[in-house]
Structure 1
Amino acid sequence: MARESTCRFAILGMLCREPMSGYDLRSAIERSVGHFWQESYGNLYPTLKQMAQEHLVELEPEEPSRGGRVRKAYRVTEAGRTALAQWLRRPVLPHVERNELLLKLFFGAQVGPTDSLAQVERSRSEAEGLLAALRLIDENVRHSRGDDPERPYWHLSIRAGLLGLEAHLRWCDEAREALQRMERTPGSTKKRKAK
């Protein structure tokens, strides 16, 4: 059975918050769930068009924006809310994460520990930046005023991101130590000859 595209449900969830254009959707996804979910414009616009044909979303009355262009904002329909609720109740399908760093490390003997260490260091640096940004988001969510019923759910997803990044940084430190030991070990830096 083919896996159903979850792009449509990310869109429906965002539109339950407020009507948005495709550009607004992409920005909202990046700002709110970007640490664990990404959508490209190339995927958003065709999905929005298809969802409009299925009556899950509809265009709001058009209003000119600054510059005279017409802003196309979508809102979720009742059918869209029902589809989102049904999807939220279904079990999460298991999946295997595609992790390019781990794939490169798995085949690291082909280039040696120095090149593999450089990959780990880059990943560690990126993770540190993401962790700092996510900590700021966490602070804002925890200290925001009001009784928004979505806030505890946001906090749960942020915590998963924080803990995952902290674990990744610990793993990077272990990998760094192992690769540095390999660099100091005679014979471990020899590359295999291509056949």
Structure 2
Amino acid sequence: MARENTCQFAILGMLCREPMSGYGLRQAIARTVGHFWQESYGNLYPALERMEAEGLAALDREERSPGGRVRKVYRVTAKGRRVLAEWLRRPVVPHVERNELLLKLFFGAQVGPKSSLAHVERSRAEAVGLLAALRLIDEDVRGARKGHPELPYWHLSVRAGLLGLEAHLRWCDEAREALQRLAHTARPTTKEKRDER
């Protein structure tokens, strides 16, 4: 399924929670599903306009922001809820994740282990920060939303993020050890020799 269509379903799901503006949607996505799903402003606003034209979302109200701009707040329609429910029942379309870190490691012999090690170290540091943030989200969701009927579903997605980050950190540690061993035994590449001059 095309990303633009999937964007539509992310928006519908968020609007089922409460009416929101494009800015509010962006913030809600970042706060809730941001560890596994992101949307840019460039996707959100055109999708909202198209969804309004198709009757999936409707203008709920207009609000003035502190800067004086008019902000449109949208709500999901009954048709939008039906379309979302139909999509939620369909099988997940498999996809291959694009992972630049793994692509660079795969071709890492071209530049030697030092560059690859630096990539792994950066990825590990980012994962440590994300894991801390996700743990806070998990605590907030389980504490502040206790008894909410959607909590078990939210918790499943947060849990997948936590376990995925923990696994990534273990992999980073293994990769770091392997690359450090390589750095001690590998001959310098032509580029590394030039850099040392």
TM-score category, normalised to shorter length: over 0.9
Give the RMSD, CA atoms, in angstroms. Answer: 1.6
Shift of 1:143: 1.7
* Distance in 2, Cα, partners of 1:141 & 1:70: 31
Give 1:78 deviation, angstroms. 0.4
- Listed one character per residue, the Cα deviations across residues 120-157 of structure 1 (whole Å, up to 9, x for unaligned) are 00000000000000011111112225421111111000
Opposite residue 142 of structure 1, the aligned amino acid is R
Compute the TM-score of the two structures, normalised by the length of structure 1: 0.93
Task: Pick closer, same or farther for the CA change 1:179–1:63 going to 2, 3 Å.
Answer: closer
Identify the structure with the greater helix proportion. 2
Contact 1:109/1:191 (8 A) holds in 2: no
Give matches, 1:145-184, under 5 Å. Answer: 145-184=145-184
1:190 to 1:67, Cα distance in 2 relative to 1, 3 A: closer
Aligned residue-pair number: 191
Give, as a single letter, the amino acid of the residue that structure 1 aligns with 2:13.
G
Gaps of 5+ in 2: 193-197
Query: Given the superposition, is the C-alpha separation of residues 77 and 145 from structure 1 closer, same or farther in structure 2, using an over 3 Å criterion?
Result: closer
Corresponding position of 2:2: 3
* Secondary structure at the counterpart of residue 20 of structure 2: coil
The alpha-carbon distance between structure 1 residues 146 and 177, as it changes in their structure 2 partners (threshold 3 A), is closer
Conserved? CA contact 2:59–2:72, under 8 Å = yes
1:33 is matched with which residue?
33
Residue deviations 1:105-133 (CA, integer Å, cap 9, x gap):
01101110001000000000000000000
2:72 matches 1:87: no
- C-alpha distance in 2, partners of 1:119/1:191? 20
Q: Distance in 1 between matches of 2:125 and 2:61?
A: 45
Q: Distance in 2 between matches of 1:149 and 1:20?
A: 21
User: Could you tell which deviates more after superposition, 89-98 or 146-155?
Assistant: 146-155
